[in-house]
Structure 1
Amino acid sequence: MTQLNPNDKIQPHWWSKTLVAIVMGLTLSYGIVAIFAWFGPGGISAPMKVQLNMWLISAIWLPILAFIYLFKSTKSAFISMALINTLIYLIFSGLWWIQ
């Protein structure tokens, strides 16, 4: 069995990874739920959709909080989450302009 060098290991920067997951994960959850809320079935004014949207945020955010520790470093976690957030908000903006 070979020994992994330090660059190949997952770095245990759990404080900074948690901060990235809390901030960037929440904005990602808001973006995904915004797409569903505005462009999902019934649109924004569908009955009972407000309650569903509220619970969807935590259902999306918690797996992000759990899986953020699988990134090798805080830098890679932050860059990945920033790119995913940018993509989600670009999709939301594009759908908004098409509508």
Structure 2
Amino acid sequence: MGDKTKRAPIRPDWWGKTFAGAVLGATLAFALAGIFAWAGPGGIAPPDKSQFVMWLIAPVWMTVFGFVWLFRSGMLALLWLGGANLLAWGLLFLVRG
């Protein structure tokens, strides 16, 4: 009875990873969905494409959010996802322009 097991404390970098997955994962999903909307088959014109693109955001975001904990630290997650966001948003503006 006196044998108490100690729980490991939550590592501080989990907060950074969670933030990166939630915020930068969402913005990355929006950018990738926008790239698909503009550069995908038929361009932006097909009437049902907007509905598909809207539903595409959630699985992309949750995939990024699920894999964000594979980074060694929260800072690496922020840097990699920040860089991916810069590339994706730059490509989106290039495709739209």
TM range (shorter): 0.7 to 0.9
Q: How big is the alpha-carbon RMSD for the aligned residues of Structure 1 and Structure 2?
A: 1.5
Q: CA deviation at 1:40?
A: 1.1
Does residue 76 (structure 1) correspond to residue 73 (structure 2)? The answer is no
* CA deviation profile, 1:34-71 (whole Å, cap 9, x unmatched): 01111211222212111111110011011101100010
How many Å separate the matches in 2 of 1:79 and 1:47?
37
Does residue 56 (structure 1) correspond to residue 51 (structure 2)? The answer is no
Identity over aligned pairs, percent = 37
* CA deviation profile, 1:6-57 (whole Å, cap 9, x unmatched): xxxxx94222211111100000000000011112112222121111111100
Q: How many residues align?
A: 87
Gaps of 5+ in 1: 1-10
Q: Rg: which structure is higher?
A: 2
Residue 29 of structure 1 aligns with which residue?
A: 29
How many Å separate the matches in 1 of 2:15 and 2:84?
21
Residue 42 of structure 1 aligns with which residue?
A: 42
